[in-house]
């Protein structure tokens, strides 16, 4: 099956700084890459996603980039705020099969 690796496992940034989380995947057939945010004690929830026919997508302070050739994608959060503190998961999925494989998560702490 798909193997999704995520780095770093923990990340601390000062409020207002940017945060970058990186993921790699192994299955070149994967074509959908969502990012989920999980606050303490809650369920993972989608914050942004990107499909393989797009190289970059932005939604306010959040952006995701995809490099299909290198099989990696990244989450960028700008102007971080304390409420951005959470665990972030990347995932890879493909149309044939529909399985979702998640990275191991990044615990982001934004220091006020």
Q: Which residues of 15-52 are buried (b: 16+ CB within 10 A; e: fewer)?
A: eeeebbbbbbbebeebbebbbbbeeeeeebeebbbbeb
**Residues of span 29-58 touching other proteins by CB under 8 A:** 31-32, 34, 42-46, 49, 51
Site residue total, other proteins (CB under 8 A): 26
14 φ/ψ sector (left φ>0, alpha ψ -120 to 50, else beta): beta
Positions in 54-83 near other proteins (CB under 8 A): none
Site residues (CB under 8 A) for other proteins, limited to 93-112 = 93-105
Q: Does 8 bind other proteins (CB under 8 A)?
A: no
**What residues make contact with other proteins under the rule CB under 8 A?**
1, 31-32, 34, 42-46, 49, 51, 89, 91, 93-105
């Amino acid at each position: 099956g798909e193997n999704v690796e995520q780095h770093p496992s923990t990340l601390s940034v000062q409020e207002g700084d940017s945060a970058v989380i990186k993921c790699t995947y192994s299955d070149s057939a994967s074509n959908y890459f969502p990012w989920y945010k999980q606050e303490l004690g809650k369920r993972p929830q989608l914050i942004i996603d990107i499909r393989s026919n797009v190289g970059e997508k932005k939604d306010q302070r959040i952006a995701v980039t995809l490099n299909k050739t290198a099989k990696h994608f990244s989450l960028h959060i700008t102007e971080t705020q304390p409420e951005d503190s959470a665990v972030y998961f990347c995932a890879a999925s493909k149309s044939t099969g529909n399985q979702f494989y998640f990275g191991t998560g990044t615990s982001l702490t934004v220091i006020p």
